[in-house]
């Protein structure tokens, strides 16, 4: 027995003692191949999954490195059966290889003949393969490259794709590093581009605010080809267009927007997921139109949100280089395997705390503020139908006074603040209480952009926003986020919302993320689930009773009434 921070169990769970002095180093090692499942105060539970091990294999980590990490950090002897299982699972990746044969075209080749015999007889694989070429090789129709990889992954035999990529139609693109007094790609951004191009497809995982867009633009410059960029919404599209004009050699005439408002196809086209998934007569006309273009590179922004129809398109364009960008590969629908198969494995992943230590994202303090509901609210929650119970707890009126008190403190200290929530009626209530503007999915694009600009320029100290602001919104000035409700236990949403405030601040100050949670309800349980991904990145939530926040607010109100000249808060006081 040693004094390691990790307890490894035969059911593939890893228990990490959070307070151990070697916990941060251990976390960094195991995050390469293990997934965090639970993160209470003292012991975090990780699990070894097949997909996590295969992602590690695709990124160049072998079984020996994984086994060494487990042995190095384990407090007790590691179960021998688990070590064998890890080695055997990782050895499955690469026994099947997709490649191009000079005579037969696309083929599936094996280093283990029995594996090939097994998979080509599988019901979901047989229709995706062609004639047998020899004992170790079977032909594959080019259009089935993506679907075959999906089917093989589900069988537990992930194929390594070495079939290469077409260059697509050429279009010159260069980075303009003279803008803003000059800039350069950061070392981790350059490494991410190198790792991507060494493989030709795959996913780059970087924290919000760490410059994923720059990685995308650097990949475009490296490819110098017609590029399709897929984004979450029109506001994100406009931000990409502005960045492309500012930081590359592209002119306005080179860049097209394909959205609900415009239908432009140009050498660089920025399209929204929403327009691509528009169905007419059972077909996806916009998807088919864009799929037919000769792209050399396709960039999937916020790839963890990729809708099902776009997966289908991606299965059919496997000969194009594909770059996925995201802050977290967590998908609440469990389709991480489809991202692995169709976009590509994780090629580069920078831990959030590492980027923070380098000064590229702001340090963040996370706080869960627990609100005690009134007797009436508790009874309403207890009597709610099971399907409505979460909403009853998450939208309790008692949260509004806490949100106001937190806003008061933040604005008084000059901190630009976002109030974020899931439910529109709750957001309307808090916006009215704060006298702050609100942005939802119904807000026209031009009005969203106006409000975002006003916030960036300090004209609006507080914005109330729905989930439309979760992704791809550049608000570098935001330093406080107050979450009053979330999408059940969505880990990726929690990470994205924290990401809204992680742009480094000019004065080096901390960002503050508050999650306002109703005590003794499933709102509290879902909050614990949402926090899992951030806990994996090393963020710990401090728990504060709402009454502490409210008491400070009442004291400040009393002082303001006693000495009105001392009132500095632009939010008009409202009785909690």
pLDDT digits (tens, 9 = 90+) for 470-522: 765 777 788 999 999 988 667 778 888 887 888 887 777 889 999 999 999 99
**Two structure tokens written together for 432:** 């009215």
Cα–Cα nearest to 278, from 293, 265, 263: 263
Is the Cβ–Cβ distance between 410 and 480 less than 8 Å?
A: yes
Whole-angstrom Cα distance, residue 401 to residue 373?
A: 12
Place of tokens 């914005």: 463
Q: Give the pLDDT score at 335.
A: 83
For residue 467, pLDDT over 50 is answered with yes
Whole-angstrom Cα distance, residue 17 to residue 38?
A: 12
Q: 3-state DSSP call for residue 4?
A: coil
Whole-angstrom Cα distance, residue 527 to residue 494?
A: 9
Place of tokens 């009393």: 558
Is the Cβ–Cβ distance between 226 and 295 less than 8 Å?
A: yes
H/E stretch holding 284 reads none
| Pairwise pLDDT comparison (180 vs 197), residue with the higher score | 197
Q: 3-state DSSP call for residue 13?
A: strand
Instruction: Determine what percent of the chain is predicted with pLDDT higher than 70.
Output: 96
**With bands split at pLDDT 50, 70 and 90, how would you rate the model's confidence at 395?**
very high
H/E stretch holding 246 reads helix 234-247
**Two structure tokens written together for 375:** 């007797």
For residue 429, pLDDT over 80 is answered with yes
Mean pLDDT computed over 174-182: 84
The count of C-alpha atoms lying within 13 angstroms of the C-alpha of 114, restricted to the half-sphere facing its C-beta, is 1
Strand partners, 6: 16, 74
Place of tokens 């999408």: 487
Residues 6+ apart with CB under 8 A from 433: 400, 403, 404, 574
Give just the sign of the alpha carbon dihedral 57, 188, 327, 170: negative
Question: Phi/psi zone of residue 270: left (φ > 0), alpha (ψ -120 to 50 degrees), beta?
Answer: beta
**Two structure tokens written together for 7:** 């307890």
pLDDT digits (tens, 9 = 90+) for 340-361: 999 999 898 887 778 888 888 8
Whole-angstrom Cα distance, residue 338 to residue 322?
A: 13
**Two structure tokens written together for 476:** 């570098």
Whole-angstrom Cα distance, residue 320 to residue 142?
A: 12
Mean pLDDT computed over 568-575: 47
Whole-angstrom Cα distance, residue 317 to residue 301?
A: 17
DSSP string, 171-236: ----B-TTGGG-----HHHHHHHHHHHHHSEEEEE--TTS-HHHHHHHHHHHH-B-EEEEESSHHH
Q: Which residues of 480-493 are buried (b: 16+ CB within 10 A; e: fewer)?
A: bbbbbbbebbbbbb
Question: Phi/psi zone of residue 110: left (φ > 0), alpha (ψ -120 to 50 degrees), beta?
Answer: beta
Give just the sign of the alpha carbon dihedral 177, 179, 183, 189: negative
Average pLDDT, the chain: 89
Mean pLDDT computed over 364-374: 92
In angstroms, the first-to-last Cα distance of the chain is: 55
**Cα–Cα distances in Å, from 28 out to 36, 194, 258, 359?**
12, 22, 40, 18
Name the strands in the sheet holding 297-301, side by side, starting at the edge strand that comes first in the sequence. Answer: 255-258, 268-272, 227-231, 297-301, 321-326, 201-205, 346-349
Q: Give the pLDDT score at 564.
A: 62
The CA radius of gyration of the chain, in Å to the nearest whole number, is 25
CA angle 155-118-116, nearest 5°? 100
**Prediction pTM value:** 0.81
Q: Give the pLDDT score at 576.
A: 38
């Amino acid at each position: 027995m040693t004094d390691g921070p990790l307890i490894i169990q035969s059911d593939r769970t890893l228990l990490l003692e959070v307070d151990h002095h070697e916990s941060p180093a251990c976390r960094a090692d195991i995050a390469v191949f293990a997934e965090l499942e639970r993160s209470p105060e003292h012991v975090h539970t990780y699990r070894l999954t097949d997909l996590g091990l295969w992602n590690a294999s695709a990124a160049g980590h072998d079984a020996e490195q994984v086994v060494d990490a487990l042995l190095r950090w384990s407090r007790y002897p590691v179960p021998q059966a688990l070590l064998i299982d890890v080695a055997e699972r990782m050895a499955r990746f690469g026994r099947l290889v997709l490649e191009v044969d000079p005579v037969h075209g696309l083929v599936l080749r094996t280093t283990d003949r029995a594996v090939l015999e097994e998979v080509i007889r599988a019901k979901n694989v047989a229709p995706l393969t062609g004639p047998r070429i020899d004992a170790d090789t079977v032909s594959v129709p080019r259009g089935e490259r993506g679907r075959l990889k999906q089917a093989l992954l589900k069988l537990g035999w992930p194929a390594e794709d070495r079939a290469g990529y077409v260059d697509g139609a050429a279009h010159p693109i260069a980075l303009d590093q003279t803008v803003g007094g000059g800039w350069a790609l950061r070392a981790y951004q350059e490494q991410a581009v190198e790792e991507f191009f060494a493989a030709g497809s795959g996913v780059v995982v970087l924290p919000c605010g760490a410059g994923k867009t720059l990685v995308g633009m650097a990949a475009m410059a490296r490819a110098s080809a017609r590029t399709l960029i897929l984004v979450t919404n029109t506001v994100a599209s406009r931000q990409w267009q502005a960045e492309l004009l500012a930081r590359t050699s592209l002119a306005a005439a080179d860049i097209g927007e394909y959205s609900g408002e415009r239908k432009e196809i140009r050498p660089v086209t920025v399209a929204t997921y929403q327009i691509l998934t528009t169905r007419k007569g059972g077909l996806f006309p916009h998807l088919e139109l864009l799929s037919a273009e000769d792209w050399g590179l396709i960039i999937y922004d916020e790839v963890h949100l990729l809708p099902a129809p776009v997966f289908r398109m991606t299965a059919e364009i496997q000969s194009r280089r594909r770059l996925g960008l995201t802050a977290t590969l967590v998908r609440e629908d469990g389709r991480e395997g489809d991202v692995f198969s169709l976009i590509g494995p994780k090629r580069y992943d920078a831990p959030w705390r590492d980027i923070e230590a380098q000064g590229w994202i702001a340090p963040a303090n996370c706080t869960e503020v627990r609100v005690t509901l009134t007797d009436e609210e508790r009874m309403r929650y207890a009597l709610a139908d099971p399907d409505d119970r979460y909403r009853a707890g998450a939208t309790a009126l008692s949260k509004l006074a806490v949100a106001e008190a937190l806003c008061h403190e933040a604005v008084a200290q000059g901190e630009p603040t976002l109030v974020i929530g899931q439910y529109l009626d709750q957001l309307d209530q808090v916006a009215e209480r704060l006298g702050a503007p609100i942005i939802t999915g119904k807000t026209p694009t031009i009005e969203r952009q106006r409000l975002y600009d006003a916030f960036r320029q300090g004209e609006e100290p507080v914005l109330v926003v729905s989930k439309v602001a979760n992704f791809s919104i550049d608000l570098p000035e935001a330093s406080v986020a107050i979450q009053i409700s979330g999408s059940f236990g969505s880990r990726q949403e929690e990470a994205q919302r924290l990401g809204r405030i992680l742009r480094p601040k000019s004065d080096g100050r901390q960002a503050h993320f508050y999650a306002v949670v109703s005590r003794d309800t499933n709102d509290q349980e879902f909050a614990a689930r949402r926090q899992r991904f951030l806990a994996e990145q090393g963020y710990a939530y401090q728990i504060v009773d709402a009454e502490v926040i409210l008491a400070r607010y009442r004291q400040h109100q009393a002082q303001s009434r006693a000495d009105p000249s001392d009132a500095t808060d632009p939010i008009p006081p409202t009785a909690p």
